[in-house]
């Protein structure tokens, strides 16, 4: 485990997947991240790259050749290199190798830059096309936050507060693919009360979310967090069945649609970079 800290918060990471695995307040000793209990879901905050969600038949086609990738891609299971580190910032990097080229035929450098500032942790995704052809990719976050944040409270004591939405329109997931069928979820003053049943049929997936900030709060607890995510066109909210966490997932990309023809360049939300171009997005979580 690799750690960063300032006077307010302490964060720990694993080089496998460049994954954030702990985010703790030094003032209250509250742990804001999910515990990673493998009985429910053994991850904490994986990176989704070079796809988000599932592929139809786990397969895509590029230049008339078939390639296979598992749900959410390959990066979360790979060993990242620590390229830079200070007391309050760390940069993990991953590049293509012989194994990745068999399933994803592109040269790239993926950077995960974590920075602490006061009560805030930021996670920046930095993608560079190091090859001589267009780089096609999607990328997303999957951080899981503990609910409840302290003993004596229940999952249903907490809610998500959206800064711009008055209702949510979620696309159904069927067999790991995005369906055209949608569900409208009413909000009360921008609030979505958490309950385990929300996620019994998989994640809530939003293609038209207006908000770029979501608070996790409880009327019975003064502590919570704000999650900010400007520049991400898709968003997911998920929890494993009856588990004590909620994932807030900003995405540049989305799972294949039920009727997708599986060509990588035509995948919904796919992005491309010209040779030597760089691209970046970031999300931030502020603890209180």
- Each residue of 85-103: pLDDT tens digit? 999 999 999 999 999 999 9
pLDDT band at 146 (very low <50, low <70, confident <90, very high): very high
Q: What is the CATH number of the domain that holds 18?
A: 2.70.98.10
Residue 22 · residue 30 · CB < 8 Å? no
Percent of the chain at pLDDT > 90 equals 98
Can you tell me the mean pLDDT for 128-152? 97
pLDDT band at 171 (very low <50, low <70, confident <90, very high): very high
Which residue range(s) make up the domain with 46?
2-287
Mean pLDDT of all residues in the chain? 97
Per-residue pLDDT at 175 exceeds 90: no
Number of Cβ atoms within 10 Å of the Cβ of 219: 8
Tens of pLDDT, residues 203-251:
999 999 999 999 999 999 999 999 999 999 999 999 999 999 999 999 9
Half-sphere exposure of 3 (CA within 13 A, CB side): 7
Of the candidates 204, 116, 140, 134, the one whose C-alpha atom is nearest the C-alpha of residue 167 is 204
Nearest-5° Cα angle at 172, 169 to 178: 110
Query: Cα(207)–Cα(277) distance, rounded to whole angstroms?
Result: 27
Tens of pLDDT, residues 28-47:
999 999 999 999 999 999 99
Count the domains in the chain: 1
Bridging pattern class, strands 177-186 and 144-146: unpaired
């Amino acid at each position: 485990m690799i750690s960063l800290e300032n006077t307010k918060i302490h964060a720990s990471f694993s080089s496998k997947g460049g994954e954030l695995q702990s985010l703790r307040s030094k003032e209250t000793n509250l742990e804001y991240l999910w515990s990673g209990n493998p009985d429910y879901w053994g991850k904490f905050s994986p990176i989704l790259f070079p796809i988000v969600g599932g592929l139809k038949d786990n397969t895509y086609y590029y230049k008339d050749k078939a390639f296979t990738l598992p749900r959410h891609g390959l990066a979360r299971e790979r060993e990242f290199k620590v390229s830079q580190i200070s007391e309050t910032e760390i940069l993990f990097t991953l590049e293509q190798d012989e194994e990745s080229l068999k399933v994803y035929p592109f040269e790239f450098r993926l950077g995960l830059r974590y920075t602490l500032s006061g009560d805030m942790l930021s996670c920046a995704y930095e993608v560079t096309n190091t090859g001589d052809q267009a780089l096609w990719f999607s990328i997303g976050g999957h951080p899981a936050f503990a609910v409840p944040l302290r003993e004596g409270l229940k999952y249903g004591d907490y809610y998500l507060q959206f800064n711009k939405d008055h209702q949510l329109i979620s696309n159904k997931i069927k067999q790991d693919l995005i369906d055209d069928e949608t569900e409208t979820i009413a909000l009360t003053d921008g609030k979505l009360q958490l309950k385990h049943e929300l996620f019994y049929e998989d994640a809530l997936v939003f293609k038209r979310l207006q908000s770029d900030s979501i608070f996790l709060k409880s009327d019975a607890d003064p502590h919570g967090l704000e999650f900010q995510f400007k520049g991400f066109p898709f968003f997911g909210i998920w929890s494993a069945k009856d588990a004590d966490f909620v994932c807030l997932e900003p995405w540049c990309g989305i799972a294949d649609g039920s009727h997708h023809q599986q060509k990588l360049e035509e995948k919904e939300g796919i992005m491309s970079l010209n040779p030597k171009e760089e691209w970046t997005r970031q999300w931030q979580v502020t603890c209180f």
